[in-house]
Amino acid sequence: EGLQNLPARLPGWDNSDMKQMSLEAPMYTGFELRAKRTRKRAFLEQMDRVVPWAELVALIEPYAPKAGPKGGRPPFAVEKLLRIHFLQQWFGLSDPAVEEALYDTPLLASFVGLDLGVDVVPDESTILRFRHLLEQHGLSQRILETVNRILTERGLMLKSGTIVDATLIAAPSSTKNARRERDPEMHQTKKGNQWYFGMKAHVGVDAETGLVHTVVATAANVSDVTQAHRLLHGQETDVFADAGYQGVDKRAENQGKQVAWHVAMRPGKRRALDKRTFLGQVMDALERTKARIRAKGEHPFRVLKCQFGYRKTPYRGLAKNGAQLNVLFALVNLWLVRKALLGATG
């Protein structure tokens, strides 16, 4: 009896209103009792506005597959594949996982610009080939360079000082694979009393803004001080580093560089300072000042590991993981300056 009294058409339901949904227009069906702007939606709305899509698409387009002369299925738009690639970085999704997420999560499909009722969703092989395209042509590093160039033009990145630092990234140590061995390009190292197996991400960070301008990937057992020269862009006058870089100014590769190295004092030596003396107080104050500057170099690592959840290498080999790190730090930079960018764009 209740079913017989239902109206022929539910209030507010009109097929003429069925348009492609967007992030700006919340994806609701009309049956929800309450609507909420979730943190994931807010995050994607912000990143959609701050990522320089046009510049990045123009960078990749010359290398992307083109439609053949005999017709066939046209290739997917570069921007759609780039958006999918960025979703993988933000949410730690593998190629099969991101394909399924596009079907399961309308918000992600909407971010990419896919209408599931009309469009074909790229399969995991297509997503894999796009990642290989970025790796083979060195486009991952150029994505970071393009983002940094845009931020520099907008006055959001200065080049007078650099902070050099590194962080350990774990790699799977399991031998349950086809070769029955761990990744031969990864190694173990000891930090404190704990052993780690994996790689190390070395970064050069702008001392004023805390934005990453250079990324180098090595095995975990490579000493930080040996990579310092690779983290400089050449325009800085001052370089700040922690105590692990002691002796960096004496190394052959750094001779002739017109920079002032500000390396932290070793912890034991600092504890031995006599702070009752004027000299001890001055030296301790100097170390505190250097520490405050170096703290900006930790901010990108916090976003990388806590915001984006990147704590373990997803691929084998340094080349693939190094390429991913360049893309990740480009997105980290955009996240760190999102408020300034959003304020500039209104």
What are the angstrom distances between the C-alpha of 214 and each of 185, 210, 222? 21, 12, 17
Domain-located, residue 275: yes
Do 119 and 163 lie in a common domain? no
Query: Is residue 127 located within the same domain as residue 171?
Result: no
Q: In sequence order, what are the beta bridge partners of 201?
A: 167, 217
Where in the sequence is the domain holding 44, given as residue range(s)? 39-66+74-137
Predicted confidence (pLDDT) at residue 346 exceeds the cutoff of 80: no
Kindly state whether residues 197 and 247 are assigned to the same domain: yes
Are 229 and 94 within one domain? Answer: no
Does some domain include residue 330?
no
212 and 245 assigned to the same domain? yes
Nearest-angstrom CA–CA distance, 61 and 101: 25
pLDDT of amino acid 176: 77
Residue found under tokens 């050099």: 164
| Same-domain pairing of 210 and 282 | yes
Q: Which two tokens stand for residue 47?
A: 């990143």
Q: What is the pLDDT of residue 79?
A: 96
Residue 16 lies in a domain: no
| 169 within a domain of the structure (yes/no) | yes
CB atoms under 10 Å from CB of 299, counted, come to: 16
Q: pLDDT tens digit string along 209-260?
A: 999 999 999 999 999 999 999 999 989 999 999 999 999 999 999 998 889 9
Residue 4, in any domain of the structure: no
Query: What distance in Å separates the CA atoms of residue 20 and residue 10, rounded to the nearest whole number?
Result: 21
174 and 263 in a single domain? The answer is yes
Residue 14's pLDDT is 47
Cα angle for residues 41, 44, 50 (degrees, 5° grid): 145
Q: pLDDT tens-digit profile of 93-136?
A: 999 999 999 999 999 999 999 998 888 999 999 999 999 999 99
Contact by Cβ (8 Å): 258, 279: no
- Tell me which residue of 79, 71, 88, 86 sits closest to 114, measured CA to CA: 79
Residues 120 and 219 in one domain: no
Number of domains in the chain: 2
Residues 169 and 297 in one domain: yes
Q: Are residues 126 and 216 in the same domain?
A: no
CB 329 within 8 A of CB 212: yes
Q: What digits encode the pLDDT tens for the residues 29-87?
A: 555 556 678 899 999 999 999 999 999 999 999 999 887 777 667 889 999 999 999 99
C-alpha closest to that of 81 among 119, 121, 22: 121
Bridge-based pairing state of the strands 161-170 and 194-206 = antiparallel
3-class DSSP state of 322: helix
Residue 237 CB neighbours (<10 A)? 11
* Assigned domain for 263 exists: yes
Supply the mean pLDDT for the chain: 88
Whether 207 and 283 map to the same domain: the answer is: yes
Does residue 244 sit within a domain?
yes
Q: What angle do CA 169, 191, 266 make, to 5 degrees?
A: 120
Residues 92 and 233 occupy one common structural domain: no
- Is residue 283 a part of any domain in this protein? yes
Instruction: Give the residue, 36 or 283, on which the prediction is more confident.
Output: 283
Strand partners, 166: 202
